[in-house]
Each structure stands twice: as structure tokens, then as C-alpha cells.
A and B are shown apart, each in its own frame.
Chain A
């Protein structure tokens, strides 16, 4: 049990890093920022789920998905459909020709709720759908690609194409999906007004808690034999295959897990921001998420969160003053990170932490701790067996 705990926390340094992150997003930011700014941070932190998923998938597994927006969007839409149905009760939609269905359906001459909206009348089913639908979708994509050994650039391009197709599909099917405007005017969750300041605080903390939980889950996966195999596959896929592992199954699993984590972020986005639209699914958001992970450090779960916050903070700053320059700046940032800091902020931290006395103390303790953890001492029986042999 103790071993599992230390695995999840990532040893002493891992636990300290996580505690600092938790304190930063759960104490420092809420105390230092007004509700509007904190709302922005809450929104950014939902993207951090996707960045964390990319650390698993891309950083450790070497599988670059340029379509994580798909899963963020599916999660977000799942939540939005539930909230929209709650906001569309017969009383408040009495002026529609068909009361009781979402307003955009009424505008598009739909007279009954489509069948796939039915499960979203129930919150438990909605939560289940948020977790399961993106995972199944990822499984289908993963099964089709990884079993045929499609990888690398081809995988990236295909996921990108699927993201584009999905966003076009949503825009095109306005009556069923709300079209290009997305699903808007979301008001309450089981009668609880999600637009009030107090609700925003509660949702912010739920979001932060879920993010930490996802990081812990990811830590467990990465510290298991599965995590070691991911690194091995990234390095020498053939060797792993010829060591008796069905490589495709491992890739499918990590892709599904990354999809599920992204979907949780999407659902929290809808709750905090109050709408969901196809602009969060397509090509640009999917690539932006990769940049967040790259800036934070694609091998570092915690770095990914800081990277997300930093890039989005920069985006908000710059796009207020030079909106047309931001995309170029972001592209430049990505190129610069890849060329000069391939391990992002986390890499810079590790390189320079040793020069700061306080930080040095922290980082000096790790290598020893890591080694002691990674390599158990020789068992006594072996030595005897060796002598006999």
C-alpha cells in the first residue's frame, strides 16, 4: 500500500512539486485574483486536462495526436446537452412552437427531441456519457490505426482530419447540435445557478481537484510497468513487439485514457464558461493544446499545467492589444520551444534549479531517492544460486 502511495505521489520531489502546484491553484490564485480573473484561470485549467493527457500520449508514448480537441469537445458537448435540456423546460420555452426542446431545435423546425439527446435528461447518464463516449470513440480510432501500425506523422494528420470533420459535422447539423453558435444559454445544474459567483468558486475548486486527481492517476500509470513500456515503445517499438508485447493494445489504451482525461476537461469547461461551441474542437484548438504541453514540458505532468497557464495568460495579454499578431507569436513560440527547450519549462527548471540554493537542496535529494526506488538490492537467494551454477 505504501509503495502504491509513493508511486502515485512520484517520490519525495514529486509530492513536493504537486503540493506546490495544488497550493498555487487552490490557495494563491483564488486569494490574489478577482472572480473574473479567477474565472479565466478556471477556463485555462480545463485546457490543462488536455495538456496532461498529451504528456501521457505524446511525451511518454511518442504518439502525437493533433486531435485532442475532439475529446475535449465531446466531453464539453455532453455536459452542455444536459444543461441545455434543463434550461429548456416547457415553462421557459413556452413561446416556442414546440415547447420543451432546446431553442435552436425549434428554430430549425424540429418538433421532437432527437433520440440521442434522450440520455442527457439524466445527470448520472450524462456523466457516464462524458466519460464513455470519448473513450469509445478513441478506441475505434485507435483500433483502426494502431492495429494497422499507422503511426507518427500519419497518425497526427489523421487525428487532425477527424477533428476538422467533427467540427464541420457539428456546424452543419444545426438542428441537432446548435451549429456554429454551439450550445448556449446554460443556466442551472439540477436547479443550482452555475452563473453566480459562489457557484463559480465551487466549480473552480471541483475543477482544480479533478485536475490533481487526473495528475495522480497519470502518475500511477507512468510509474507502473505500463509507463516503462510506453518509454520503451517510444524508443524501440520493434524491440517491444519482439519481446512478446502486443504494442497496438498499449497504444490504444493510452489513447483512450488521454481521451477520457481530455473529456473531463471539456465538461468542466462547459460548466465554468457556460457554453460549448465547435471552435473548441477543430484544428486550431487541438494544435494549441499541443503547444501548451510542449511549453510546459512534454515529459512533465505538472509542467504541462504551468505551460497551459502561461501560454493562455500570454494569449489574453497579447490578444487584447495585438489580436492579429497572436497566432504568429504562438507559432513562433512553438518553434522556439521545440528547437531550444525540447523539455519546456520543466526542462529549464531541472537544468537551472541546481543554481538556486533552496531548489538545489530539493533536486539533490531526488537522484538518490530515485535510484533506491528504481533498483532493488540483490536478493540473497540469487547469490547462492549463482555460486551453485
Chain B
């Protein structure tokens, strides 16, 4: 494929599990600083798409280009180092470590075995931890053991751990699942803030929340794109209403 200006260019992406095509010839392009929301019914292949981009699942065919660099051949940690961050559906944090340690351990220096053995906590690292902690509204609870956080805080902490790495593409799988209304609003603000200088892909079911954040919406159905565009256009789409939104 030729080079493009897109941050992420997914072309003809296919993955089949024992003949079942979970993602079928998918094409998707993400712009710089764009916040894209992917919606669709259960089993549409939303999480699988993220798995394919971050390398957790290997594709059967097609290409994924991140800043014109092919990702399908890279291993998971190489994809992360290229600048792609991924948040999992269930909050995935280190429960035995403090909030501070969770953030510090995600700092993208000292990533090799020996680098980590001789890693020095510089002022730069500390400054970055405090900056991110402020961003995710957790600067007052840095000492707290992560296991004691509320569900919503755990979700934010994981987002913070990704922000520590300053990724250019951030992928979030249902970031507001299980959050209270107030936490949802705060998360929407957080996402609007963090997409200022990076591209973000969000998978979400909560349509109110989607409206607050989405620049553009992609609707997936049976591994294919059903519709794509601005939120109000997609909501008015007959096919989308039929398979997903309901009447």
C-alpha cells in the first residue's frame, strides 16, 4: 500500500478463527488528533480489531500501518514502543503496587533487563508521574495501594499508565463501563483533553457518552463496517438502527 498522511491506516484486514471471520476485509483510517468511537452489537469484532492493531491477535490477511509503518509483523512490545497504547476492557493495573509505582513502572525508560536494573529515578520521571497523576485526577492518592481504588479510579489509572508512555495512538476498550454518571462526565472531559495531541480509538456502548466525545463514529457489524461518519448521520442510518440502535 502507498504511504498516507493517516496516523493509522487499516486495509483489507481479515482474521479468521477456524473459518469464522471475526474481522472481514476491514478498512479504517484514523486522522491525526482524531477521536474515533467504534460501536456495534456484541460479537461485531470491535475488541478483535483492537487486538489486531496492538498485536495480541495475529491477522490472517491485510495490513495495519501506523505512521506508514507495518504493524502486523511486529511483536507486542515493539508495537507499544512504536507509539500505540492499549487499555483493556477490565481495568488492568498492578494491584500490589501503589498508584505512584503503577505510573512509574509504565515510564518508557529502562525497558530492557539491564536498563531496568540500573534505572535511576530522575527528576524528569517524578515530574512526568505528577503531571499524569494530575491529568487523571489522582495526584492526592499517589500513596494508595492500587487494589484499594474504586472501579472508576482503576480505569483512570490504567489510562494514566498509558499516558506515561506518551503514545501517539491510544486505544481504549469500554473505558466507562461500570462508572457512575459523574465519573462518566469526568472521563469524557479527560478524553477530550488527552486527544489534543494524539489520536484515540474508543470502543463504547453508552450512546450518551459517545455523543460527548466522538469526532467520528464507526459502526461494526459481523466483522464489517456498517456505517461511518458523524454521530447524528450514523444514528439516522436505517441499517444501523436495524442491527444495533433499535427503534
- Which of B81, B88, B96, B119 contacts A238, CB < 8 Å? B88
Which parts of B73-109 form the interface with A (CB within 8 Å)? 75-77, 80-81, 85-86, 88, 92-98, 100-101, 104-106, 108
Give the distance to chain A from B219, nearest Cβ to Cβ, in Å: 26
Q: How far is the CA of A71 from the CA of B106 in the complex (A)?
A: 33
Instruction: Verify B113–A378 contact, CB threshold 8 A.
Output: no
Interface string of A220-253 (1 = CB under 8 A from B): 0100111011011001101101111111011001
Instruction: Verify A243–B116 contact, CB threshold 8 A.
Output: no
Taking CB atoms, residues of chain A closer than 8 Å to B142 are 375
Residue of B nearest to A375 (CB): B100
Q: How far is the CA of A371 from the CA of B105 in the complex (A)?
A: 16
Q: How far is the CA of A225 from the CA of B134 in the complex (A)?
A: 23
The stretch from A272-280, A305-313, A379-387 touching chain B is A379-387
Contact flag A244-B111 (CB < 8 Å), given A224-B117, A229-B105, A235-B94: yes
Q: How far is the CA of A221 from the CA of B126 in the complex (A)?
A: 21
Instruction: Verify B116–A224 contact, CB threshold 8 A.
Output: yes
Interface string of A21-35 (1 = CB under 8 A from B): 000000000000000
Taking CB atoms, residues of chain B closer than 8 Å to A249 are 112-113
Residue of B nearest to A249 (CB): B113
Q: How far is the CA of A246 from the CA of B55 in the complex (A)?
A: 13
Taking CB atoms, residues of chain A closer than 8 Å to B116 are 224-226, 229, 250
Name the prevailing secondary structure of the A interface residues. Answer: helix
Which parts of B158-205 form the interface with A (CB within 8 Å)? 158, 161, 165
Give the distance to chain B from A389, nearest Cβ to Cβ, in Å: 8
Residue of B nearest to A235 (CB): B94
Instruction: Verify A226–B117 contact, CB threshold 8 A.
Output: yes
Instruction: Verify A231–B97 contact, CB threshold 8 A.
Output: yes
Give the distance to chain B from A144, nearest Cβ to Cβ, in Å: 17
Q: How many residues of B contact A (CB 8 A)?
A: 44
Instruction: Verify B105–A382 contact, CB threshold 8 A.
Output: no
- Is the C-beta of A124 less than 8 angstroms from some C-beta in chain B? no
- Is the C-beta of B130 less than 8 angstroms from some C-beta in chain A? yes
Contact flag A244-B80 (CB < 8 Å), given A226-B116, A374-B100: yes
Q: How far is the CA of A250 from the CA of B96 in the complex (A)?
A: 19
Instruction: Verify B118–A379 contact, CB threshold 8 A.
Output: no
- Is the C-beta of B236 less than 8 angstroms from some C-beta in chain A? no
- Is the C-beta of A376 less than 8 angstroms from some C-beta in chain B? yes
Q: How far is the CA of A247 from the CA of B121 in the complex (A)?
A: 21
Instruction: Verify B105–A228 contact, CB threshold 8 A.
Output: yes
Taking CB atoms, residues of chain B closer than 8 Å to A247 are 77
Residue of A nearest to B119 (CB): A225
Which parts of B198-239 form the interface with A (CB within 8 Å)? none
- Which of B77, B130, B158 contacts A378, CB < 8 Å? B130
Give the distance to chain B from A369, nearest Cβ to Cβ, in Å: 13
Q: How far is the CA of A357 from the CA of B147 in the complex (A)?
A: 30
- Which of A221, A241, A243, A385 contacts B131, CB < 8 Å? A385
Q: How far is the CA of A226 from the CA of B111 in the complex (A)?
A: 9
Can you list 24 contacts pairing A with B, beta carbon distance less than 8 Å?
A: A225-B105, A225-B116, A226-B113, A226-B117, A226-B119, A228-B101, A228-B104, A236-B93, A236-B94, A242-B56, A242-B77, A243-B80, A243-B105, A244-B80, A244-B108, A245-B77, A245-B111, A249-B113, A374-B98, A379-B123, A379-B127, A381-B127, A382-B127, A386-B131
Using a CB–CB cutoff of 8 Å, the interface residues on chain B facing chain A are: 54, 56, 75-77, 80-81, 85-86, 88, 92-98, 100-101, 104-106, 108, 110-113, 116-119, 121, 123, 126-127, 130-131, 134, 139, 142-143, 158, 161, 165
**Additional A-B contacts beyond A224-B118, A235-B94 (13; CB < 8 A):** A226-B113, A228-B105, A229-B105, A239-B88, A244-B77, A246-B77, A375-B143, A376-B121, A378-B139, A381-B123, A381-B127, A382-B126, A382-B134
Top-3 shortest CB links A-B: A244-B80, A225-B119, A226-B116
